[in-house]
A and B are shown apart, each in its own frame.
Chain A
Amino acid sequence: MTASEATMSHSASESKSAIPAPAGPELLSVRGIVKRFPGVLALGGVDFDLRRGEIHALVGENGAGKSTLMKIIAGMIPPDEGTIHLDGQERRFEHVLDAQDAGIAFIHQELCLTPHLSVAENIFLAREPMRGPFVDRARLRAKTQALLDGLRVNIDPGAIVKNLSVAQQQMVEIAKALSLNARVLIMDEPTSSLTENEIDQLFVIIRSLRTQGVGIIYISHRLGELQHVVDRVTIFRDGKHVRTADFGAITLDEIIAAMVGRTLDQKFPSRTSHPTAERILEVCNLSREGVFQDVSFDLRRGEILGFAGLMGAGRTEVARAIFGADQKSSGTVRLFGHEVTIHSPRDAIRHGIAYLSEDRKGHGLALEMQLAANVTMANVDAVADRLGFLRFGDEAAAAEKYVKALDIKTPSIRQIVKNLSGGNQQKVVIAKWLFRESQLLFFDEPTRGIDVGAKYAIYQMLDRFAAQGIGVVLITSELPEVLGMTDRVVVFHEGRVAGVLETGRSNQEEIIQYASGQKTRAA
């Protein structure tokens, strides 16, 4: 807790009072915000305060109203009731640009940069320094360089954005926000697609922004990382403000309890399944030219196998190749002792393999379609008769079942998926693969962006599948998840298997050593 102690003392010197006070020299003060959507009360009169030079975490389960409040603050949607004060002055934002002019910047989980333009062009989009009718390219570059230097990030202002990593793109977004003189910075799940190293870098930058007096609202489901940066935390539940506390004055367990409205004894369920000798999956020397090489591992009945490694190490790519989403260049895959040839996801699904993608919007959901249609997408046959006519009753029953089992918050199973919150969308993708009833599951980051309660439910499900003899491969960036749920873990490093470890005899440090290439061991 040394990091958080340091931050605590820092914030204490900045703000006059350690107790969260409703009034005072707040940078941003939100009172009694009410927002109704058709059929849902998204926010039931919430208060929220942000001080200068403060990093304030906003946490809550999916659908707690965090995103809605942020959208209201950023001028994206108007509140039905309530007031927003910035620097003690009441403000009404009719439009995103109003809020932007007032110094409020919102960095979304899904970054919104123009992929084919350069870093500099993105940052000064529609505000390019001009010389006569032409863009002053030299000044554009210099101004961008100055901003990036100020953040101490090493990105070429002329680089095309689509060639940057997600972490770098995020830095560009932050630079853009600063170029707009943002005083309030809203960050929605900023670390969800970053590696450990990149997260550390991000935190350094966030802390330096704090010393410049920027107020940062930090939304994250990764409670563990809050201690490294956060001064205060506010907890929302079901559209209501539950509690605001200095981070040092509240424990993680208390936060979780406030979020879910009950106490969760454990983050992970105890495992009921036990590995047997029988092999469900045997992968031998699997390679994909230029992506991964000589990957070999096996999966036993009753076992949950983890895939760990840094971003780009080949975890997802190996799973995709086994699933037939990408072609492999060599190697064999044996399923229940028989060699199988898989050329397409259709082949894989026919063999009873499921692959839940980490990219739910790009690869998981038909956003314009209804929840029910998404749930049955991988298994339409199950709700169609022999002639191919859909049995809507069966479909509705299936959808209702999973809405209930996964606690998906939706007004109806006919809701267009696009209108659901991110976490609920993720649950819909999970429901799709549960409805398929497969023999072998690849779950790629299944809990990303999902609340604590739902995470637990998914963990329980994984354990139950393993106990039923279904093979489970859990691909995850979160080491606690690896340690808490898997029996063995395959650690990838730069497209190769760095080691296969018994989870029970390993620890976080050892996995990181393998993942970073400091240690290798033949499988």
Chain B
Amino acid sequence: MTMNEKRRDLIQKFAALGSLTVLIAVFAVTSRAFFTTTNALTVALQVCTIAYLGMGMTVVIITAGIDLSVGSVLALGGCMAAVLIKGGMPVWLGMTAGLLLGCLAGLLNGLFVAQLKLPPFIATLGMMGVARGVILQITGGRAIAGMDQAFGVLGNGALFKKMTIGADGYPDIKFVGIPYPVIVMVVLAILMSVVLSRTRFGRHVYATGSNNEAARLSGVNVYRITVMAYVIAGFFAGLTGIVLMSRLVTGQPNEGIAYELDAIAAAVIGGASLTQGGIGTISGTIIGAFVIGILRNGLNMNGVSSFVQQIIIGVVILLTVWIDQLRSKRSTRVRVFANQKQVERSGAPAEASEPARRAVE
């Protein structure tokens, strides 16, 4: 990356990064328990699910699509893993099956979009209903409880956990350790960031989203890229499912409702554009996920009611994206007249505010 590119990348994240810094500063002052290592790890753990889903969502959004099904697909993947493991499958195999199921749902989404040419919004709206219905039918709507403890290791375990057994026989925790989900998040964030910014595949993803027809005429396999984007989103949904269920040590078929909106919000706060493909970064989305996570955590610690929390989070989403709009408007002031395609898509800004509105509900 050249300096120029780096700087642009930084400016892109300015709005999100700015609000993140402000949030941390405010909460550090208002709550003594906030600015501690233990709480930082708690936040990181809470942020994981938004970050996983957000990363998949980012790839899809860059291709000028959207995936509304991830909340349902995570329930499908996570619960199926629980069902299979309860039925006697080894934990690792059951979880892999859960991940693959997520990928399969993503593959279908991708085929609906690329092959049947359905609008992404509709295709994934359909999958949202189907995936949720399938898992509710399989489980009869009941939680799968009484899971083996081994199922809970991924969600509850931690690396470098230091504890000694005290004189009273109770464990004395010196360091809570880095939760496995956080490690997975960091590794995947780095991986995805590299894939999107430094590989041929990533370049093709941006090209496909930026101008689908130009990419196709340039020999980019836009069909494959589109399908792959949804498969990646499905993979992350499956991953989120098994991590969440593992943390609960229970298969919960009602888990993940409306999570897709958090994922979209994280991506959008991080600079991804719902009106125009080809824009968005993994690092931005991670920052967006932390903005949402820290806001919830900090407001909780300050005893703000969950109703008020929703209002505040909604407002923050609006503010962040508005600031980002102002910035991009200034940098492209020269180009005043939108081309026809953008005019035709003028319904899109209404869509953009949709997740924000829904997140408030």
- A residues in contact (CB < 8 Å) with B: 37, 71, 76-77, 96, 108, 110, 112, 114-115, 323, 325, 344-346, 348-350, 355, 357, 361-370, 373, 376-378, 380-381, 384, 387-390, 392, 396, 412, 414, 418-419, 432
Contacts and interface: CB of A to CB of B under 8 A. Distances in A.
A419 B332 contact: yes
A43 to B, nearest CB: 13
B216 interface: yes
Interface centre among B217, B220, B335 (most CB of A within 10 A): B217
Q: Is the interface of A mostly helix, strand, loop or mixed?
A: mixed
A72 to B, nearest CB: 11
B207 A361 contact: no
Given A325-B217, A366-B211, A392 B1 contact: yes
Contact of B218 (A76, A108, A345, A418): A345
Interface string B329-357: 00011111111110110000000000000
Interface residues of B, number: 39
Contacts of A414: 2, 4-5, 8
A419 B335 contact: yes
Given A114-B343, A366-B210, A432 B335 contact: no
B215 interface: yes
Interface of B: 1-2, 4-5, 8, 198-201, 203-204, 206-207, 210-211, 213-221, 276, 278-279, 332-341, 343-344
Nearest to A392: B1
A418 to B, nearest CB: 6
10 contacts: A108-B337, A110-B337, A325-B216, A325-B217, A344-B216, A345-B219, A368-B276, A369-B210, A396-B2, A412-B4
A108 B339 CA distance: 11
A70 to B, nearest CB: 12
A76 B336 contact: yes
A368 B218 contact: no
A376 B219 CA distance: 11
Given A37-B334, A345-B218, A414-B2, A365 B211 contact: yes
A362 B213 contact: yes
Contacts of A323: 217
A370 B217 contact: no
Nearest to A347: B219
Nearest to B204: A380
Contacts of A76: 336
A367 B210 contact: yes
Contacts of B336: 71, 76-77, 96
A355 B206 contact: no
Give the interface centre of B200, B201, B335 by most chain A CB atoms within 10 Å. Answer: B200
A174 B85 CA distance: 71
Contact of B334 (A77, A96, A432): A77
B12 to A, nearest CB: 12
A418 B337 contact: no
Contacts of A350: 219
A323 B213 CA distance: 14
A388 B200 contact: yes
Contacts of B279: 368
Contact of B343 (A112, A346, A378): A112
Nearest to B7: A414
A322 B217 CA distance: 12
Which of B210, B218, B221, B344 lies at the interface centre, i.e. has the most chain A CB atoms within 10 A of its CB?
Answer: B218
B200 A390 contact: yes
Given A110-B337, A110-B339, A115-B344, A366 B215 contact: yes
B208 to A, nearest CB: 9
A76 B338 CA distance: 13
A116 to B, nearest CB: 8
Chain A CB count within 10 A is highest, among B199, B206, B214, B279, for B214
Contacts of A380: 200, 203-204
Nearest to A38: B331
Given A110-B339, A389-B199, A378 B219 contact: yes
A96 to B, nearest CB: 7
Contact of B335 (A357, A364, A381, A418): A418
A334 B99 CA distance: 47
A363 B214 contact: yes
B288 to A, nearest CB: 19
Contacts of B200: 380-381, 384, 388-390
A77 B333 contact: yes
B214 A366 contact: yes
Contacts of B276: 368
Contacts of A381: 200
A308 to B, nearest CB: 23
